[in-house]
Amino acid sequence: MNTAASVVPHIRWMIRRDMPGVTRIERGSFEYAWDEEDFLRCLRQRNCIGMVAEVDDRIVGFMIYELHRQRLHVLNFAVHPGFRRCGIGRQMAAKLIAKLASHRRGKITLAVRERNLPAQRFFRALDFRAVRVLWNYYEDSGEDAFQMEYRPSWEADEAEPWRADRRALLGRLLG
Ligand SMILES: CC(C)(COP(=O)(O)OP(=O)(O)OC[C@H]1O[C@@H](n2cnc3c(N)ncnc32)[C@H](O)[C@@H]1OP(=O)(O)O)[C@@H](O)C(=O)NCCC(=O)NCCS
């Protein structure tokens, strides 16, 4: 069901019963997919949160993130292949961004595979910026990653112009 129309999902905490729907999306989204045990191990950590997006009682997206003192770190984020480009990812990310203010944290961080251009484009469309290259970041393939960050305010750039220069360079590398 690929449609450009915007779909409004219900976004809620992930529960154990969601696992089949979540792992199905995971397998349809990643070459090196997490299995159910990977999700459960992660969610057992005290600072780890899972959320799902639901449309008509069907899981169409999920995100897993960690709460740190200064930031939220996204570990996993995907939308069902049949529901992409409908605004679901954008609404999940908006939910995350809203949590920054309520938790008084300054930024959201995540790593994106160097070859995952759609995800890089997605996060850039949501005002995330590539801030550094993480060399050989993934144990599975040895692939590099880009660390991307979202900050409600990038005013610090004015005080530290070298940051903007470095990002401009990364931006050119990312096309
Ligand atoms: C990346 C992903 C989560 C985006 O979810 P989505 O629900 O399709 O995204 P949205 O519909 O909310 O898109 C919002 C904007 O992001 C950008 N965008 C999203 N997907 C894009 C793509 N494939 N190519 C270019 N831009 C894209 C567009 O600007 C889009 O707005 P538009 O549709 O009005 O042009 C989804 O493609 C996915 O699950 N990919 C596989 C898993 C993955 O790579 N996760 C990220 C790991 S770091």
pLDDT band at 6 (very low <50, low <70, confident <90, very high): confident
Atom of ligand 1 nearest to the CA of 116: 44
Q: What pLDDT was estimated at residue 41?
A: 97
Atom of ligand 1 nearest to the CA of 111: 48
Residues 81/33, Cβ–Cβ less than 8 Å: no
pLDDT band at 118 (very low <50, low <70, confident <90, very high): very high
> Over 90: is that where the pLDDT of 40 sits?
yes
Q: Across residues 93-97, what is the average pLDDT?
A: 96
Closest listed residue to residue 88, CA positions, set 122, 114, 111: 122
129 vs 168 pLDDT, higher one? 129
5 vs 150 pLDDT, higher one? 150
Where are the chain's structural domains?
Answer: 1-105, 111-175
- We find that the CATH architecture of domain 1-105 is 3-Layer(aba) Sandwich (3.40)
Give the pocket of ligand 1 (CB within 6 Å).
Answer: 29, 77-79, 84-90, 110, 112, 116, 118-119, 121-122, 125
Q: Across residues 117-135, what is the average pLDDT?
A: 97
